[in-house]
A and B are shown apart, each in its own frame.
Chain A
Amino acid sequence: MIAFEHVGKRYGGRFEALADVNFRLSRGEMVFLTGHSGAGKSSVLKLLTCLERPSRGRIVVAGHDLGRLGNAQIPFYRRQLGVVFQNHQLLFDRSVFENVALPLSIQGFTADEVARRVRAALDKVGLLHREKALPIELSGGEQQRIGIARAVVHKPALLLADEPTGNLDPQLSADIMRLFEDFNRIGTTVLIASHDLALIARLKHRVLRLREGRLVGDEGMGS
Chain B
Amino acid sequence: MKKGRRTHQGARNQQSSFERQRLAWQAHHRQTARDALHRLKQRPIGTAMTLMAIAVALVLPAALWLLLGSAQVLDRNLSDTAQLTVYMTPSASDADASSLLERVRARDDVSSVTLVTPEQGLEQFQKTLGLGDALSGLDKNPLPAALIVKPVTQTPEAVSALSLALKQMPKVDEAQVDMQWLERLKQLSTLGQRVVLSFGALFALGVILIVGNTIRLSVENRREEIEVITLIGATHAFVRRPFLYSGAWLGLGGGIASLILLAAGMAWLSAPLTALAESYGGQWAVPSLGFEGSLFLLIVSTLLGWLGAFIAVGRHLSHMTPK
Contacts and interface: CB of A to CB of B under 8 A. Distances in A.
Interface of A: 49-53, 71-72, 74-79, 81, 83, 89, 91, 102-103, 105-111, 113, 150-151
A113 to B, nearest CB: 8
A102 B229 contact: yes
Contact of A108 (B25, B224, B321, B322): B25
21 contacts: A50-B322, A52-B323, A53-B323, A72-B235, A75-B235, A75-B238, A76-B235, A77-B233, A79-B232, A79-B233, A81-B233, A83-B231, A83-B232, A89-B224, A91-B228, A103-B233, A106-B229, A106-B238, A107-B233, A110-B23, A113-B20
B24 A91 contact: no
B20 A110 contact: yes
A168 B323 CA distance: 32
Interface in B279-323: 321-323
B120 interface: no
A71 B21 CA distance: 23
Contacts of A111: 24, 27
Contacts of B321: 71
A76 B233 contact: yes
A150 B23 contact: no
A78 B25 contact: no
Given A75-B236, A78-B231, A110-B23, 18 more contacts: A50-B322, A51-B231, A53-B323, A71-B322, A75-B233, A75-B234, A75-B238, A81-B233, A89-B228, A102-B228, A102-B229, A106-B234, A106-B235, A106-B238, A107-B233, A113-B20, A150-B232, A151-B232
A78 B225 CA distance: 16
B28 A74 contact: no
Contacts of B225: 91
A93 to B, nearest CB: 8
Interface string B8-33: 00000000000011011101100000
A108 B24 contact: yes
Contacts of A150: 232
A106 B232 contact: yes
Nearest to A114: B24
Q: Which of B25, B224, B233 has the most CB of A within 10 A?
A: B233
A79 B236 CA distance: 14
Contacts of A50: 322
The 10 closest A-B pairs by CB, nearest first: A79-B233, A78-B233, A75-B235, A110-B24, A106-B234, A108-B24, A103-B232, A89-B228, A75-B233, A53-B322
B235 to A, nearest CB: 4
Contacts of B224: 89, 91
A107 B234 CA distance: 8
Contacts of A78: 231-233
A108 B234 CA distance: 10
Interface in B194-240: 224-225, 227-236, 238
Given A51-B322, A71-B321, A108-B25, A102 B20 contact: no
B322 A106 contact: no
Nearest to B320: A51
Contact of A52 (B21, B229, B238, B322): B322
